[in-house]
Structure 1
């Protein structure tokens, strides 16, 4: 299972990073889109996440690890086709295909990790998978940085998307599952004791989408970053996260979810306000890197659930959590795009407010979830 998760996690990062690095410049330079168009497409990108709960019913007929592989194939297909449709409608369609693949893979990836690794190990596994993802992102960013002068957007999207599809096809031939994990419920699960998990997941979707939809767009539209500069930024950012991600996972095990999430949300308040009011390209780049460092702590929301949830609820709860996360994510980019036309600073001030609300909410997590409280030592 670990090998299966590693291969597909790497593939998903290749597809997503290719799309994220190239999309904004492709949208502006080739399709001529403005902030509102981009905001709408970003909202469309989150619709599959909103529908992630349907994965529960897909798993009635398709085993969870096979759904994971099929999702990676869809992610690669959407990425490969993106360069062939330089228009608002074309990008909306290919984004939808790519996003169905990405979100359904993430749903199954989180579920399988929590099922196959215990509470003392899963944060470290999540952290190491993120570290591997960062290393993969370095390779993708470097590849785009080197190839962009010789290749067009269409060729770059096509080549990288095909690599992702190949990994998904490999996954269809694998049998990583075994019968030692609890059988998962194949229905939607809502329980009152999970209410804090639901709320934190909802707020994470709202504030995270502001960052995803508009941070890079801010750099391109307001500060004039080129595609090569964006690729270089991704390269530097992921080099830092390659070393930081495993440490973040171990910090969750050692200090508990409440402490690390408090640090994340307090930092995000500062980051969003800096985005809103700085006029410096250096500050914008620094905030982007710092945001990614703090975002790695978001896995603590899922590991918190692992400690309070029933083992049979993991798969349906991850699917329901993804849907809750994307209730705000579906509408936030479109609303943000409209607010951008008034003043782009409003968008980032809203992100600071959401982070403050999350900081207050996370104080309700009990101080029970560190390695000392659980009686575990840190895994190697």
Structure 2
């Protein structure tokens, strides 16, 4: 996508909405480069949640008093706002979960356990997050289904010829990450969905690393199900979204049971309520839904295309700076073709040691397998260091990251 026509972000003004970025440890200001794990939360989101607790706190769908009506309206309106944000056909297609992982599990238990059998195949990619890989692996063990994996090439991109061979008439579902949380690869999820539909299979897309930083249109992708998390898109923890096409959601039985998701209950039987409430039992994440609504408003006020352009520019800059270091190994596509993160290793220094040294400089990065152990096995490394960027990050912060490598070299020389 060309971003040349877009006005650059006023990053300094954006940073003012994040007091945490002004924090100092040992006299050094925080450099927060762990956004793929969780983003920071701007004042308007915190204020929206605080206002809810101060002024409208009540349970939803359970009372006719004023406060309950206000809370219910706020909770329902949040569904409407998220539906608009991803171009879904209304609140019926937006189920609130705790996070992307729960969205994946909801589908796997509500659909997978009931529909999969020994003759079925589940197709994943080699870059899947454990939320997808482990979940479908366990469901396959219970149902007798087979899990297959689309290969990645040497550049960390999907081998789409292999995908076309693998996705066949015995494929029941294709589950793929929109953007890899380790490689930064932006996958052709529309093509994967088309391949799935060509064989009457479903598609599930893990959008945890995509929705926060680029425009996502679920109709354009045509995914049957799409999940993402609030805490990776400037929203609160404890809330995620599972989008599903309405006709498919209507066919599914609930994954969890209890109050708030029923239509009629007798001592002998129960029937389920309307969408999306039949998938949201018990007291839901009301304040978090208010916060997610505010986060969506905040992101759209800035503009998702501008956020994407900023992230891609930072990723390209970080990739180029690290690639210029002879003792740094980078993973995934080159800097001109990736989401807003870079995973790498410094020769002779374990990722955990490097991250500790970065912390001495008050630079927050992630070390480990990033919930992609099989991918790291394929890469032939036990762990990597990941720097991930968001709307409030700067080139100067990346410069500090690269400069801190010298300390690691001296310590482990």
Query: TM-score, structure 2 length as denominator?
Result: 0.25
Q: Which has the higher helix share?
A: 1
Q: Which has the higher strand share?
A: 2
Query: TM-score, structure 1 length as denominator?
Result: 0.27
Q: Which has the higher contact order (CA 8 A, sep 6+)?
A: 1
